[in-house]
Chains A and B, each alone.
Chain A
């Protein structure tokens, strides 16, 4: 047996997984009857429906008539740099304040680019710190810690 459409196959399995996950957890909530529904009724049947659709998509990808499609390459470094930089921002904002957090976010996320340069990244960070300070702290008066809390 050959998986002709790999994208669909994986997507189908994902639907089956997520659908069953929601359906199984829904069993833990009150089911009730159609006339007097509990909190588990609607999510349970939605989960089941999603799992059925997933199974169909996965099985269909094996059918001989399907267009062959390989899984797309995943660019792990980009994902890590981008996600990592936002996590660093989330952790550092309450402790180090807006200025430092924006600096870290811009410089770290810039490393995901193929054309990274320190000079460009730092300049961009300085510009964005100025811009966000003006727009969010002065302009919109949002409440953030701006400087490190321990100073």
Chain B
């Protein structure tokens, strides 16, 4: 069977000492930042991108991927123990997880989260392996018009499912697309929007934008909040759930995994949305509805399985179509281009060891995570006592060194500072930076396909609608916008995001 030989190639790649080591570093770092509130995977991956230059591409990608799914594990630990979700995807876990901890069942809650995540991670790895090939086949049939429409759908989907004000988020996408166009136009050689600054003719570095908006700006915004972190911690005893617990946690884990895997593939999906969706589903279906909010084990099992499944299946659109479905995946595009790999369907055929190695590493990473997390919970919790006033200067140091080392120039730090202030203003105005980052990454690709499609059709705009695949994708995008604009849906959507 093809899948088996592919997977064995993957495991052979992932099982080298070097790749295992970087996988371990990745998941450890991921757990660490998952535990620390105020430092998310986007900023961390951006900080580490420059450090991966010297690595072989496969090791770099394995490590960066580990950070993302590792963060889902770490985030749940703090959510359960001290009611502070380390990641937005653990917000719902805090509701019932913290109540379980208060009832003296912290150990059981942590165990449930760990087992749920592990199971979901294994299933998601299989889904990723199984879906990748057929989707890549489909992608090879795509022409420029289809790619353009697919990007439109991806960008629209990203904001429809994952953010606050729809129209403002679309504005941020366009702003990102425009910023992505800064630099030399590949077709004509004209330097656009570079204002005769030589460093700008190569375009704005991806790392500068990500660090400015997600590193510097977040710090400025966080500093305004006074610190109040109460560490409520009894000794964690008794990790093992009872038989009743086991019976109650299995169905939610299964449902969470399925829902999470599905939502992860959708553009704009990803871990947070999956966790929220799974929690609401469980609340509706459970026989123990009255216990929700008071320490129901289902309320931990379902969202934790879902967020881990989604963080892995969100690699599917990236690896097969070359389209990043969320901000973390946008960074992975950056990481791949740094190593001269063009993300897209051709990765699987031209670089099978990298493709399957990455997938296999995810499963190995999950094994490491469960070993790392359950016995070492005490260590992670200790980290929480580091006050923010020591933490943020450290983040700044790593950001600055990272940005500088990309091109060995101070100019990039100035740019990052400007993006930091811009990002701070965006936060203050309620404009989200994540869609901007997606637009920024897709900008040049989108223009290229737009141009080529219209060149082939001799300037006829209807080509986007008359080609069936392209038309279908655009109609899907339009439908998404329409559905969100419906009053009934609008209300539930607003409620959903209020919880975050």
In contact, B216 and A53 (Cβ under 8 angstroms): no
Q: Is A34 an interface residue (CB 8 A)?
A: yes
Q: Is B392 an interface residue (CB 8 A)?
A: yes
In contact, B420 and A86 (Cβ under 8 angstroms): yes
Q: A39-B188, A57-B171, A90-B413 are in contact. Are A85 and B223 (CB under 8 A)?
A: no
How many Å lie between the Cα of A53 and that of B171 in the bound state? 6
In contact, A124 and B190 (Cβ under 8 angstroms): no
Interface size on B, residues (CB 8 A): 64
Main secondary structure of the interface of B (DSSP, over half): helix
In contact, A37 and B223 (Cβ under 8 angstroms): no
How distant is A99 from chain B, measured CB to nearest CB, in Å?
A: 12
How distant is B71 from chain A, measured CB to nearest CB, in Å?
A: 20
Q: Is A1 an interface residue (CB 8 A)?
A: no
In contact, B429 and A11 (Cβ under 8 angstroms): yes
How many Å lie between the Cα of A9 and that of B179 in the bound state? 22
How many Å lie between the Cα of A25 and that of B429 in the bound state? 26
Pick from B51, B410, B451: contact of A94, CB under 8 Å = B410
How many Å lie between the Cα of A78 and that of B424 in the bound state? 11
How many Å lie between the Cα of A47 and that of B417 in the bound state? 24
Q: Is B129 an interface residue (CB 8 A)?
A: no
How distant is B105 from chain A, measured CB to nearest CB, in Å?
A: 35
Q: A35-B454, A42-B447, A140-B54 are in contact. Are A90 and B410 (CB under 8 A)?
A: yes
- Chain A residues closer than 8 Å to B233, beta-carbon distance: none
- Chain A residues closer than 8 Å to B232, beta-carbon distance: none
Pick from A22, A37, A57, A132: contact of B178, CB under 8 Å = A22
Main secondary structure of the interface of A (DSSP, over half): helix
In contact, B188 and A78 (Cβ under 8 angstroms): no
In contact, B396 and A46 (Cβ under 8 angstroms): no
Q: A30-B190, A42-B451 are in contact. Are A124 and B394 (CB under 8 A)?
A: yes
Q: Is A82 an interface residue (CB 8 A)?
A: yes
Closest-by-CB residue of B relative to A16 is B171
Q: A49-B174, A53-B167, A90-B414 are in contact. Are A78 and B450 (CB under 8 A)?
A: no
Task: Mark B residues whose CB is within 8 Å of A.
Answer: 51, 54, 165, 167-168, 170-171, 174-175, 177-178, 181, 185, 187-188, 190, 192-193, 216, 219-220, 223-224, 226-227, 387-390, 392-394, 396-401, 404-405, 408, 410, 413-414, 416-417, 420-421, 424-425, 428-431, 447, 450-451, 454-455, 457-461
Top 9 closest pairs, chain A to chain B, by CB: A35-B459, A34-B459, A90-B413, A39-B185, A90-B410, A113-B389, A11-B429, A78-B223, A39-B190
